[in-house]
Amino acid sequence: MRTSIATVSLSGPLSEKLTAVATAGFDGVEIFENDLLGSPLSPEEVRLRCADLGLSIDLYQPFRDFEAVPADTLARNLRRAERKFAVMERLGADLLLVCSSVAPESVDDDALAAEQLRLLADRAADHGIRIAYEALAWGRHVSTYDHAWRIVEQADHPALGTCLDSFHILSRGSDPKGIADIPGEKIFFLQLADAPLMAMDVLQWSRHYRCFPGQGGFDLAPLVAATVAAGYQGPLSLEVFNDVFRQAGAASTAVDALRSLLLLEESAGLSVLPAASAPSGFAFAELTAADTEPLRGVLDALGFAHTARHTWKPVELWEQGDARILLNTGVSGRRQDPALTAIGVETPEPDRAARRAEAVLAPVVPRRRAQLDAPLDAVAAPDGTEIFFCRTEQADHISWTGDFTELPSRALPKERVEQGERGEPSAAAIRRIDHIALTQPWHQFDEASLFHRGVLGLEADGSLDLADPYGLVRSRAVASPDGGVRIVLNIAPAPDADGPRLQHIALATDDIVGAARRILASGASLLPISANYYDDLEARHDLEPERLATLAELGILYDRDENGEFLHCYTATVGRVFFELVQRTGGYRGYGAQNAAVRLAAQHLHQQGV
């Protein structure tokens, strides 16, 4: 279907918004009146600009407080409307949004509202303009879509129809099934917005917390499907009032917006995109630093072995079990301190995964490639982390590991960790990457979870609030159904926005106590955890004293859910990166959120050298 977006959804001057909307690939715009009022461009110039950009002006909005008023007010309102019709003619816009009145002088009289809207539609028709009447969720007398439709039906004028807005419908808990009762040709416009589920004043909720479809808690797909099934022919248009997007660049927000619409069309059954198939595991995590020596030290202590090096790039492969870490010293133009810059995910069909990523507007990472390198597609997540689609060492696909030259040491150190002293496999070895945690810039948190769902086919958990020394940190996990790939997204807790955004790699072991002892024996340290934590642990869970003492001795944190247990501990932080060791038993699904406050506080103290 045609796609459109209200200019109010983006930041900046009108001309920049229009460019961003067109560049992202939308077909049209709704011009939000205040954006025109504040613009140095005349309506004719806006019209020309849109034409040059290939954008249609689908709606001019909003016209407020019109209907169900005393006669003298009606006369003034009609005069006001005539002025707007004139502006719309200059703009070349032929659809005006009229939202239900909030004016104290309007009366609760549907017949009067219908009569006055009919009059308005008649005047509009003289200018070739149509009126779309929308129920604001906080309208004084009309606040539901079915009520607005009854008035439109009663007015019975060809130039009068209704505008549906998913926020107003779903925020009030109205059932979108009733949309089927509205003739499609009387639905003049459809505005789409999602929002996080919150208990608050609906006007504040709408004006500050709307978000793009898929980023909040509303189920938009059935509403869109019902509207299209009713015969609606107009565009799918985003109308998002949001304090956060106001702070972000219009160009990137417009792309995120269109991605959300493409994903919504897919989930409403209106389009077919290359299917997402959830990745089955991590192929690698890539760390970049000018000086990789401190990271090498940590990897060595964790029992990793440097097994191979890239044939021509300054990249080392370190391995243990199925956990692979790339150390990259090619940091030109990037920050110098160690940072997690890329993730490889195992996908059954990397080419198809890349096609899907492109279809949903994920930015493709341009790559320097030598002739003989394996084809490797990557896209950039909203926080800049590069995501590579991999198929590692399978007969049916060229493997990225083929670009690496094995070191003679490969077999040796691997054995050292995987075999215990008497040759039996050591349970304390690291098996694989359990999850990766990426701290997000605060204004990209919702976008990031939609990106990982829509592009990678991961499923999102609910959003959690974790305490840290500064307040609360929002956190949300996205994971494949079988848990093979788990990514935890957190909002940057740093009080100064330019502070480092910490990232970490969690490594799975079957024996965390053995693994922790091995790390300590190698001379490395683990994050010290306060004794108070273990007092509390003892109070919450009836752990054996001996076991509790071992956990306290090693700084291992503990959690459990209805399925099993979770034990975890942390290395020191190097640059922006640290490692976590985790041991899951019995199908525990979480990430130890219960313990995050203690860990964050311990890291804070550690970083201050306390």
Ligand X SMILES: O=C(O)c1ccc(O)c(O)c1
Q: DSSP string covering 49-80, please?
A: HHHHHT-EEEEEEEE-S-SS--HHHHHHHHHH
Cα–Cα distance list, 145 to 98, 118, 187, 226 (Å): 13, 18, 11, 14
Closer residue to Mg ion (CB): 239 or 319: 239
Q: Is 557 exposed, middle or buried (0-12, 13-18, 19+ CB in 10 A)?
A: buried
- The runs of H, that is alpha helices, within 288-410 are 293-301, 350-359
* Residues 2 and 28 sit within 8 Å (Cβ to Cβ): yes
Interaction of residue 161 with ligand X, rule CB under 6 A: no
Closer residue to Mg ion (CB): 166 or 320: 166
Residue 61's binding partner among ligand X, Mg ion, none (Cβ under 5 to 8 angstroms by kind) is ligand X
* Rounded Cα distance, 204 and 207, in Å: 5
Residue with tokens 């990271």: 295
Interaction of residue 191 with Mg ion, rule CB under 5 A: yes
| 507-546 residues near Mg ion, rule: CB under 5 A | none
- Mask: binding to ligand X, 581-600, rule CB under 6 A, as x and -? --------------------
Q: Which stretch binds Mg ion (CB under 5 A): 233-241, 354-362, 463-471, 600-608?
A: 233-241
CB of 40 to ligand X, least distance (A): 24
CB of 241 to ligand X, least distance (A): 6
Residue list, annotated binding site: 134, 165, 191, 239, 435, 504, 580
CB of 346 to ligand X, least distance (A): 43
Residue with tokens 């029992």: 303
Residue 227's binding partner among Mg ion, ligand X, none (Cβ under 5 to 8 angstroms by kind) is none
Interaction of residue 62 with ligand X, rule CB under 6 A: yes
Q: How far is CA 47 from the centre of its chain?
A: 33
Residue nearest to ligand X (CB): 62
* Rounded Cα distance, 310 and 331, in Å: 15
Interaction of residue 165 with ligand X, rule CB under 6 A: yes
Q: Which stretch binds Mg ion (CB under 5 A): 159-167, 260-268, 330-338, 461-469?
A: 159-167
Q: Rule CB under 5 A: choose which of 27, 30, 165, 383 binds Mg ion.
A: 165
* Rounded Cα distance, 595 and 600, in Å: 9
* Residues 468 and 604 sit within 8 Å (Cβ to Cβ): yes
CB of 276 to ligand X, least distance (A): 31
Residue 207's binding partner among ligand X, Mg ion, none (Cβ under 5 to 8 angstroms by kind) is ligand X
Give the phi and the psi of residue 344 in degrees, each rounded to 5.
Answer: -100, 130
What six digits make up the tokens of 183? 């003739």
* Rounded Cα distance, 386 and 376, in Å: 12
- CA geometry: angle at 286 spanning 282 and 288, to 5°? 165
| 191-210 residues near ligand X, rule: CB under 6 A | 191, 206-207
| 78-137 residues near ligand X, rule: CB under 6 A | 97, 99, 134, 136
Closer residue to ligand X (CB): 36 or 464: 36
Parallel/antiparallel/unpaired status of strands 503-509 and 557-560? unpaired
Give the count of residues interacting with ligand X (CB under 6 A). 11
Closer residue to Mg ion (CB): 65 or 165: 165
The residues of the shown chain that bind ligand X, judged by CB under 6 A, are 61-62, 97, 99, 134, 136, 165, 191, 206-207, 239
The residues of the shown chain that bind Mg ion, judged by CB under 5 A, are 165, 191, 239
